[in-house]
Structure 1
Amino acid sequence: MKISKFFYGFLITALLFASCNKDEELDSIQPESLESTQNVSSKLKPIGSGVMMQAFYWDVPAGGTWWNTIRNKVDDWSNAGIDAIWLPPVSKAQNGPFSMGYDPFDYYDFGEYNQMGSTETRFGSRSELESLISRAHRYDLNVIADIVINHNSGGDLEWNEFAGKNTYTKFTPLSGKFNRTKYDFHPNEQYNSDSGIFGGFPDLSHSKPYVQDWLWKRSNSVAKYYKNTMGFDGWRFDYVKGFEPWVPREWQRNVGGFAVGEYWDGNVNTLNWWVNQAQMSAFDFGCYYKMRDAFMGNNLNALSGDMLWKRNASRAVTFVANHDTDEIINNKLLAYAYILTHEGYPAIFYRDYEEWLSKSKMNNLIWIHNNLAGGSTTNLWTDNDEYIAKRNGGYGKNGLIVYINNSNSWKERWVETNWSSRRIKDYTGNSGWEPVTQGGRWVKIQAPPKGYTVWSLK
């Protein structure tokens, strides 16, 4: 998570220009009836059966067009094997039409109230968001909300005797829901602090019953409103280092759904502690940093290091890049070949898929993940330039062998498979070999320079 500043001198002109462009774009979009967002979960793909799409990047185009941009892609994504889309924070934030949503002000303003400098959010209007969620559901996709509950922004000044100064802790949003004062932030009359603050923003006090009521307990709490009225199916919790793991655990206990936390830490012991305490998934920063070392450092031995998916695969969401960090520049497709053939629930980044990498190769890897990558993982070979691992199969999948070659020349190696006297092929198309495994299950496979192959039964 990060916060950018968008105080431009030409704000009014930009808003008017964006509004005109948006009106023209909307004219070309046919209206569609919004199906009920209730009782759709049984029709959706099970989360984890496919791949998650992070459906945004930092500083996506302003002007209120982003929800329609994503709406027009969900059918193709579903056909490619995506099972869930993760949206940026959907409610009105302090920077209004320029905000990426991580400075939340009114949790119930989805682009319908004229406050914080605009009616719509950076991404669009409430009706456009509802249309996007409805269309995603029709294509069997889950929709994951980005939940920012560590801090708030945009409040008015009030005298705060607990802080000994004036603080921006008076929130009176136009939605009329979840008004907040100095008693709802740290420090207050009962609690001085929690796990951490972010950027000096007012820090919500989750131990206060009033805050708990509005976040997850009330019938119209943020959690229940997002699920039951807006139709969200899962949650991505931002900056969970800022509060104790019981907070997202209680949220999920009240509303259910898939949940993953952003615990930004490469220490796998800490990540594993957090997922067990929170009883939900976490982004596998351990895996991310080991891949960075392997592919940017040109030393695949780093892949032998500790990762969350190796400890607790059912709780690991693996990724190569996201809106906050994108350090794996070289050999990025090799990194995707790694997470899309290994255990854990892989998430792919919008710009990698839509702009920067080969979409056909990404779709091929998604297909391999969804159709072949089953069972436990066995490492077969690792050195500076080569990495070979075996998925042992299960849950209706034959398993696979992935061969990643980070050198500048073709490589070949004998490996032991799980298949005796069976013909195999490379499902990436990078090799034309179709060898038959020996009676003892050994076979020679190959991989191209700076490339990869994925082998399974023909």
Structure 2
Amino acid sequence: MNGVIIQFFHWYHPGNLWNEFAEKAEYLKDLGFTAVWFPPANKCSLNMEGRGYDVYDLYDLGEFDQKGSIPTRYGTKAEYLMAIEKAHEVGMSVYADIVLNHRMGGDEEEKIMVHQLSEENRNERISENMEVSAYTKFTFPGRKGVYSNFIWDHHCFSGIDYVIREGEEMKGVFKIHNEYGEEWTDAVSHQFGNYDYLMGADIEYRNPYVVEEMKKWIRWYMETTKVDGIRLDALKHISSNFLKDWVSYIKTEVNPECFVLGEFWKDEAEKIEYFSDKMSDLISCFDTPLHYNFFKASQDGKDYDMSRILKGSFLEKKPVFSVSFVENHDTQQLQALESAVKDWFKPLAYAIILLTDEAYPCIFYPDLFGADYIDIKDEQEVHIIMPKVEELPGLLEARKLFAYGKQTDYFDHPNCVAFVRKGDEKHADCIVIMSNSEEGYKEIELGKEHADSVYTDFLKNRHEEIYTDKDGKAVFTVNSSSVSIWVKKQTP
């Protein structure tokens, strides 16, 4: 089956998401989506303002009166479970977003020992050891021990970004001293010397009680929600030793069929491949390098060499474990990893991830539905409009009908490239051709079995009919900065 994921949220989504999905589930299934990736459902430190990544309580899915309300930004626990049920009803899998790296919004202060580190080199001390107060105790008073009575304190954390010393507030990267030493774990990305610390109260996965609690929690979560898979946030900041053990636990003790997708944000496929190998292929990974290829291609226009669009991608390295995307909530405008693909190139990018062999594509909510939002940048209000990609429903339909069989590439020109999917017993062939410059063409020989056939553009960007000769050869065309999918004309 040609699976397709919908990332059913974006950073500026106004909320009430679970109910919205339930209303749109049938429509999404009809478009060809087979899985939905939901944002984190947990209660946040910022609650209704939080997007799920500022994790406060993983056991509160919008059920307890904590951080100012019972529901989360996206709805109540009952609505979340109903949305998952609706997805299953229409035959879609559900992938839950899980944040393992940190906690935010602690309930009580503790006196702890720390030292401060350079933000550019997290191995370089820039202070003496000092006693400070920090919000490192999480007691979850609103939940009152329901589901778990585990109390998080400074023994459960390795670092923090906000402390109080002798009444003075301090911000930075502070290493918490605990029974696991005064150094970070080494089993993380070595960006900035050591990238264990990202934000909030950084979880200490060398603590066996923490590991045990996280195993207990994921069992509870999967049994409670019945999700089919998980998307794991910020993996380059998490101990790979813990991660491998924890995912192995899920696969052996909780759900052997669980699909695990990781965000290991690197622009070099070799580094993602190294991580994937280290995880013994337990975790699929987002193809960040391919996203950056799309971003650069959209910026450079006709100066970008389209014959190299797949070069350096994770799809090239380990296609079975690669999830391709055009953009997501982190890359949209005004976000930390802003690298928004320009609108003109999105149909080409989506044609590549939806119609090439082996890709498992993920479609971003605003590209299907559009988005309109306001945020602040450099103290100025910025209004962003993300128009929907008009070709997307057609491309999704083409995936259902034609993205089968052997693929032959014609990536032999810097501005105009094509590939052919041969089809199978049940599905016809198709020719996908795209140009990032002027109108283009490609001579393609499909074989004698396609002799004297008539082809039309499935996307209706071109209006002529193309006839193959006695050898099944023809010249297929494409508009400037566009994509066409040539398929055999249906005879009435």
TM-score bracket, shorter-length normalisation: 0.7 to 0.9
CA distance in 1, matches of 2:405, 2:444: 18
CA distance in 2, matches of 1:358, 1:94: 32
Post-superposition Cα deviations, 1:267-319, rounded to whole Å, max 9, x if no partner, equal: 01011122222222111011111111222211224415221111211111111
Distance 1:54 1:434, change over 3 A: same
Distance 1:398 1:226, change over 3 A: farther
Match of 2:92, as an amino acid? L
Q: Confirm whether residue 73 of structure 1 aligns to residue 45 of structure 2.
A: no
What are the residue-to-residue correspondences of 1:38-77 with 2, within 5 Å?
A: 49-62=2-15, 65-77=16-28
8 Å Cα contact 1:294-1:301 kept in structure 2: no
CA distance in 1, matches of 2:154, 2:112: 6
8 Å Cα contact 1:294-1:302 kept in structure 2: no
Distance 1:395 1:283, change over 3 A: farther
Pick aligned residue for 1:414 from 443, 449, 455: 443
Corresponding residue number in structure 2 for 1:230: 225
Corresponding residue number in structure 1 for 2:102: 151
Corresponding residue number in structure 2 for 1:82: 33
Distance 1:251 1:49, change over 3 A: farther
* More moved, 347-356 vs 253-262: 253-262
CA distance in 1, matches of 2:44, 2:365: 23
CA distance in 2, matches of 1:317, 1:419: 35
Q: Confirm whether residue 250 of structure 1 aligns to residue 267 of structure 2.
A: no
Corresponding residue number in structure 2 for 1:380: 410
Corresponding residue number in structure 1 for 2:155: 183
Match of 2:418, as an amino acid? I
CA distance in 2, matches of 1:119, 1:209: 31
Pick aligned residue for 2:359 from 344, 347, 354: 344
8 Å Cα contact 1:50-1:369 kept in structure 2: no
Corresponding residue number in structure 1 for 2:396: 366
Distance 1:206 1:167, change over 3 A: same
Q: Percent of pairs identical after alignment?
A: 28
Corresponding residue number in structure 1 for 2:138: 171
8 Å Cα contact 1:51-1:348 kept in structure 2: yes
Per the TM alignment, residue 418 of structure 1 is displaced from its structure 2 partner at its CA by 5.5
CA distance in 2, matches of 1:283, 1:57: 17
User: Where in structure 1 are there 5+ consecutive unaligned residues?
Assistant: 1-47
User: Where in structure 2 are there 5+ consecutive unaligned residues?
Assistant: 116-130, 159-175, 189-194, 333-339, 371-385
CA distance in 2, matches of 1:438, 1:244: 59
8 Å Cα contact 1:183-1:189 kept in structure 2: yes
Alpha-carbon RMSD across the aligned residues, in angstroms, is 2.3
CA distance in 1, matches of 2:472, 2:33: 34
8 Å Cα contact 1:185-1:205 kept in structure 2: yes
SS at 1:339 equivalent = helix
SS at 1:403 equivalent = strand
Q: Confirm whether residue 428 of structure 1 aligns to residue 459 of structure 2.
A: yes
- Highest CA radius of gyration, 1 or 2? 2
8 Å Cα contact 1:162-1:189 kept in structure 2: no
How many residues are matched?
404
8 Å Cα contact 2:366-2:388 kept in structure 1: no
CA distance in 2, matches of 1:68, 1:441: 51
CA distance in 2, matches of 1:416, 1:106: 59
Structure 1 or 2: larger strand share? Answer: 2
Post-superposition Cα deviations, 1:28-58, rounded to whole Å, max 9, x if no partner, equal: xxxxxxxxxxxxxxxxxxxx73210000000
8 Å Cα contact 1:420-1:437 kept in structure 2: no
Per the TM alignment, residue 138 of structure 1 is displaced from its structure 2 partner at its CA by 0.6
Per the TM alignment, residue 252 of structure 1 is displaced from its structure 2 partner at its CA by 3.1
Structure 1 stretches of at least 4 aligned residues deviating more than 4 Å after TM superposition: 356-360, 392-399, 438-441
Post-superposition Cα deviations, 1:291-348, rounded to whole Å, max 9, x if no partner, equal: 1122221122441522111121111111111001031023222211221112311101
SS at 1:227 equivalent = helix
Post-superposition Cα deviations, 1:135-160, rounded to whole Å, max 9, x if no partner, equal: 11111111111110011111132112
8 Å Cα contact 2:418-2:442 kept in structure 1: no
8 Å Cα contact 2:138-2:152 kept in structure 1: yes
CA distance in 2, matches of 1:311, 1:210: 37
Per the TM alignment, residue 382 of structure 1 is displaced from its structure 2 partner at its CA by 3.9
Match of 2:151, as an amino acid? N
8 Å Cα contact 1:105-1:154 kept in structure 2: yes
SS at 1:154 equivalent = coil
Per the TM alignment, residue 357 of structure 1 is displaced from its structure 2 partner at its CA by 4.8
Match of 1:189, as an amino acid? E
Corresponding residue number in structure 2 for 1:402: 432
TM-score, normalised by the number of residues in structure 1 = 0.82
CA distance in 2, matches of 1:109, 1:294: 42
CA distance in 2, matches of 1:71, 1:179: 35
Distance 1:116 1:324, change over 3 A: same
TM-score, normalised by the number of residues in structure 2 = 0.77
Corresponding residue number in structure 2 for 1:23: none
Match of 2:202, as an amino acid? D
Corresponding residue number in structure 2 for 1:309: 315
Distance 1:312 1:412, change over 3 A: same
Match of 1:133, as an amino acid? I
8 Å Cα contact 1:237-1:248 kept in structure 2: no
SS at 2:103 equivalent = coil
8 Å Cα contact 2:457-2:486 kept in structure 1: yes
